[in-house]
Amino acid sequence: MRIDETSRGSGFLYGLYQRHLRREIGQGDLPHHVAMIIDGNRRWAKLRALDSAAHGHRAGAAKLREFLVWCDDLGISVVTLYLLSTDNLSGRNSEELAGLIEIIADLAEELSHYRNWRIKHVGSNVGLPESLIETLDAAEQRTADKTGLHVNLAVGYGGRTEIADAVRSIIAAHQAQGHTLEDLAESIDKELIGQHLYTGGQPDPDLVIRTSGEQRLSDFMLWQSAHSEFYFMEALGPDIREVDFLRALRDYSRRHRRFGS
């Protein structure tokens, strides 16, 4: 009985604190675009003595579904989830990578049937199995006309690769139009490069969040995050709570974004 009472008390206090945080951030600015690097899935599984990293990756994927609901309910417009990097494709063992690819495919399929969300794959297809490419393409096509939360799935993604691909895309477009190298040199500016990124036409992330206490970008949205605010959580990916996210938003709302001024 004593344990139950403590649990109920903790839940009540948690609810009060959650409502308090919501009131606080309601008085400030919310980000339009939030980017999330969910980290710590493997450590989460290891700490629980689970037999494979796949348990951590599945728990992380389940948490991402929750995270998207939190964002949607608050009226955030765009969320980018960093799910699989180009480095992961060459750096993870084949068994773990195969399991992770299956989890990502399941996540993309599920999200494409949920609410009024629009799904977009941002990344390169190079090195991805055909089955995953087909699943990502189908999710994107299925939700192309939806007008709710825009969800970017960064799969096979690398910031440096993205910039290189953008440059190649610009060159190919100019070549197809019969323009000269001189024309190309004169036309290149940051706006043109931005249009040819995987996220072309979207707003840059206002807030980039990373879990597990790590404080690095890991080749994520290098171009787009030039003026982003960063927030680092200590919690491992599967352990983040809504109050952790609300704290991040409260912190963001208190910052003064200068954009170089």
Question: Which residues are marked as active site?
Answer: 39, 88
Q: Are the C-beta atoms of 226 and 204 separated by less than 8 Å?
A: yes
Return left, alpha or beta for 69; rule: phi > 0 is left, psi -120 to 50 is alpha, else beta.
alpha
Looking at residue 151, its amino acid is V
Helix, strand or coil, per DSSP, at residue 259: coil
Beta strands in the chain (DSSP E): 33-37, 78-85, 118-122, 150-157, 207-210, 229-232
Residues 6+ apart with CB under 8 A from 25: 246, 249, 250, 253
